[in-house]
């Protein structure tokens, strides 16, 4: 082969080898796009960054900016800035979704738009096409096994004589307290339409309730400082205390449990809909779901198969998932203020 022909052939071959890399670099679908989303901060945002945002940026060029705060604060921001929303996606909880729907702030998304929605467990889409759930937070019973020798297995047990002055309760101003109150009512024959049995039960255990808190942080402190020995609390928070060495047991109430789901929903009017859908799809991936469940021990909303050492600490998982009860969040939002007022009277 002549030298000129060889050089020409070699150059063509080299270009061919380099072409895929060049094409790949130019073909990232969301290069130059940044999604704005509220976040829950701390380890929650850290895990979402590692297992949702980073993989998306590597594959598609998409960048994600988290603005940490509470779900309620994010909802308030959207309500105040509906003509110029600060987010493309809102991360919110079950109690927030009815308000977002009524305010016409979020857009529906179908399962067909999110391939990983095929992994969702039956019944987790509480609001039809509005919001995509990705994590389950259940309210369970807990007790300090160092001080409480007879296991607490039902809400009725919180009225036992050995727990006098040692029960902590979350205020219904906080969703954990609200769900515990609803569960207490149902355990005593009540319903959302008739919560009187809940308040009668509260009155009967009044001497046992030593502390009422409207903050998960302060309730954790009460348990860890052993000022209270038993109560109803978030399953993930109970695991966290136990993981730090505190003798707190997680118990699925024999009456069943109530909980909420963490949701992702597109904000109405976003110009980045395809990127939004890509983010939500990645959040439902096994990698993202497993990372969240492994750290927090909240249950997945998908059919994710957990390692045995993780599954043993996830309360509403596997066959016990059937013990998680559905709830009418729209009705709850209508009576929540009234329930708080009645609760405050009952525990005075």
Q: What is the per-residue pLDDT across 162-202, written as a single tens digit (0 to 9) for each? A: 999 999 999 999 999 999 999 999 999 999 999 999 999 99
168 and 220 share a domain?
A: yes
Q: In the chain, what percentage of residues exceed pLDDT 90?
A: 91
pLDDT on residue 127: 98
Same domain, 132 and 270: yes
The CATH number for 167's domain is 3.40.190.10
Q: Is residue 3 part of a domain?
A: no
pTM (2 decimals)? 0.90
Three-class secondary structure assignment of the chain: CCHHHHHHHHHHHHHHHHHHHHHHHHCCCCCCCEEEEEECCHHHHHHHHHHHHHHHHHHHCCEEEEEECCHHHHHHHHHHCCCCCCCCEEEEEHHHHHHHHHCCCECCCCHHHCHHHHHECCCCCCCCCCCEEEEEEEEEEEEECCCCCCCCCCHHHHHCHHHCCCEEEECCCCHHHHHHHHHHHHHCCCECCECHHHHHHHHHCCCCEEEEECCHHHHHHHHHCCCCCEEEEEHHHHHHHHHCCCCEEEECCCCCEEEEEEEEEEECCCCCHHHHHHHHHHHCCHHHHHHHHHHHCCEECECCCCCHHHHCCCCCCHHHHHHECCCCHHHHHHHHHHHHHHHHHHCC
User: Residue 327 has what pLDDT?
Assistant: 97
206 with 245, same domain: the answer is yes
Residues 236, 265 within the same domain: no
pLDDT exceeds cutoff 60 at 16? no
**Average pLDDT for 96-119:** 98
Query: Does 341 lie in the same domain as 200?
Result: yes
Residues 212 and 72 in one domain: no
Whether 239 and 115 share a structural domain: no
For residue 43, the model assigns a pLDDT of 97
Confidence tier at 26 by pLDDT (50, 70, 90): low
Find the mean pLDDT for residues 37-57: 97
Residue-number span of the structural domain to which 236 is assigned: 138-259+328-347
Domain count for the chain: 2
23 lies in a domain? Answer: no
Q: Residue 24: is its pLDDT beyond 70?
A: no
State whether 195 and 340 are in the same domain. Answer: yes
Are both 215 and 144 inside the same structural domain? yes
């Amino acid at each position: 082969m002549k030298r000129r022909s060889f050089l020409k052939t070699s150059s063509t071959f080299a270009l061919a080898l380099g072409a895929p890399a060049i094409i790949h670099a130019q073909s990232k679908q969301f290069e130059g796009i940044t999604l704005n989303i509220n976040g829950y901060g701390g380890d929650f945002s850290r895990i979402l960054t590692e297992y949702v945002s980073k993989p998306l940026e590597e594959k598609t060029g998409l960048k994600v900016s988290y603005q940490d705060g509470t779900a309620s604060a994010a909802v308030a921001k959207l309500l105040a800035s509906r003509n110029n929303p600060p987010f493309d996606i809102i991360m919110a909880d079950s109690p927030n979704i009815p308000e977002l729907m009524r305010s016409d702030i979020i857009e529906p998304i179908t399962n067909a738009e999110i391939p990983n929605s095929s992994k969702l467990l039956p019944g987790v889409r509480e609001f039809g096409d509005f919001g995509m759930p990705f994590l389950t937070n259940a309210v369970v019973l807990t007790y300090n096994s160092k001080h409480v020798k007879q296991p607490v297995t039902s809400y009725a047990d919180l009225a036992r004589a050995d727990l006098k002055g040692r029960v902590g309760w979350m205020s219904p101003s906080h969703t954990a307290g609200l769900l515990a109150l609803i569960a207490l009512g149902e355990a005593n024959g009540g319903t959302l339409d008739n919560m009187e049995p809940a308040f009668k039960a509260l009155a009967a255990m009044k001497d046992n309730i030593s502390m009422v808190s409207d903050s998960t942080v302060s309730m954790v402190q009460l348990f860890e400082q052993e000022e209270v020995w038993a109560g109803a609390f978030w399953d993930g928070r109970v695991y966290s205390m136990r993981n730090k060495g505190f003798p707190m047991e997680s118990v699925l109430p024999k009456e069943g449990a109530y909980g909420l789901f963490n949701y992702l929903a597109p904000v109405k009017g976003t110009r980045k809909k395809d990127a939004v859908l890509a983010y939500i799809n990645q959040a439902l991936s096994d990698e993202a779901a497993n990372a969240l469940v492994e750290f927090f021990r909240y249950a997945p909303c998908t059919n994710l198969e957990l390692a045995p050492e993780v599954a043993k600490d996830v309360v509403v998982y596997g066959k016990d998932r059937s013990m998680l009860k559905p709830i009418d969040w729209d009705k709850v939002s209508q009576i929540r203020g009234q329930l708080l007022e009645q609760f405050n009277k009952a525990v005075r």
